[in-house]
Amino acid sequence: MKTNNQGNDTLNKKIKRIGVLTGGGDCPGLNAVIRAIVKTAHHEYDIEIIGFEDGYEGLIEGRYRKIDLRDASGILAQGGTILGTSNRADPFRFPVLQNDGYVYLDRSSQGVLNYEKLGLDALIAIGGDGTMGASAGMIEKGLPIIGVPKTIDNDLVGTDVTFGFDSAVITATDAVDKIHTTAQSHHRVMFVEVMGRYAGWLALCSGLAGGGDIILLPEFSYDIEAICDQVRTRNAQGKNFSIVVVGEGAKPVGGEMVVQRTVKHSPDAIRLGGVSHAVAAQVEELTNIECRVTILGHLLRGGSPSAFDRVLATRLGVEAVRMAAKGESGKLVVLKNNRMDSIPIAEVAGKIRTVTPDDNLVRTAQSLGICLGFAQGESPEKYYDPVQTAPRQGQEDN
């Protein structure tokens, strides 16, 4: 089986059957992509769609079903994924439960065999960095895969934005808006912790949109004294409350990220979370101002996708089918300057798109007087300490 851009033979071949799966953590917009794939395949190409259940688990274990127009009806605004998903189904490190616990086996060849048995002409994999990492490996084994970028973290390289991010920003911003009223009423410092793992896009955008006074990002180590100075300055100005938006991967200068727990049977054992409690305790002790913490967690994944995400997910799904029909593979569909484009999945796998010191959003926050964990006037580069690559072997997200 040939891979990546399989040439004129594939271009001249009538594509009859395409597989689709959703991998990693769920997010708003997954069903919108599935809907777009099914409708485009039916109306433009008369292609049959086979949906694998629970991501790469379904491909490896042979769990699949035909997805037709009836299945795609009424799901545009529905959260989650009708196919189910898994954040531990790495084909090359597949967890198998035995008497004494989990063992990890390379089941990628079984995935290839199941693909071939079904007579598929292409596979559309919808997911984030972990799904694309697994897909890159399966491409090397011969599967013609097209990727669709999904994650609330917005940390996939090569695309301007991932679907799911806008919906999560709206949910987080709404929470920050509501926190404002109790912060003002009780004269407190209120911490709102959001997901994002090793990238601060969600914290930065929801902090800006929600009027956060302090925003802590994984990319910039924070100085606790700078945070306290910002709180004290606001109080001295008669602003007797502060809102702190915190990315779950934030860490102090010279310190480490806070690990909430580890999951032994997951390809990525680390689960971040709870850094806000540590920062709040320090701020309360150093300023004598009452602090409270709200951790949004998986709330950010739920609910109906925003209008922006519905449109973006639809565009990505349509383009993925068009690429498959043309015989293209080994690529990720991306949004570049509001146009559909594509890049090799191999260029995405194992990488993270993080907030950089020269990003316009960073400069915007500084211009507004927002504290990013260091004193006003100090260079962001001094505190810049990002995770450069995805520290995982398999699927992504919490």
Instruction: Dump pLDDT digits (tens) for 31-81.
Output: 999 999 999 999 999 999 999 999 999 999 999 999 999 999 999 999 999
pLDDT at residue 9 tops 90: no
Pick the CATH number of 165-302+354-383 from 3.30.70.20, 3.40.920.10, 3.40.50.2300, 3.40.50.460: 3.40.50.460
The CATH number of domain 8-163+305-347 is 3.40.50.450: yes
Q: Tell me what the mean pLDDT of segment 223-247 comes to.
A: 97
pLDDT at residue 177 tops 70: yes
Least confident stretch, 4-8, 211-215, 257-261: 4-8
Nearest-CA neighbor of 137 among 151, 118, 123, 155? Answer: 123
Average pLDDT, the chain: 92
The secondary structure of residue 186, as a DSSP letter, is H
> What was the pLDDT predicted at 257?
85
- Tokens representing 369 are 């007087």
Q: Tell me what the mean pLDDT of segment 338-342 comes to.
A: 96
pLDDT at residue 398 tops 70: no
pLDDT at residue 395 tops 50: no
> CATH 3.40.50.460 residue ranges in the chain?
165-302+354-383
186-218 pLDDT, tens digit per residue, is 999 999 999 999 999 999 999 999 999 999 999
The SS3 assignment for 267 reads: coil
> What was the pLDDT predicted at 100?
79
The SS3 assignment for 95 reads: strand
> CATH 3.40.50.450 residue ranges in the chain?
8-163+305-347
Give the whole-angstrom CA distance, residue 101 versus residue 95: 10
pLDDT confidence bin for 6, thresholds 50/70/90:
very low
Active site residues: 153
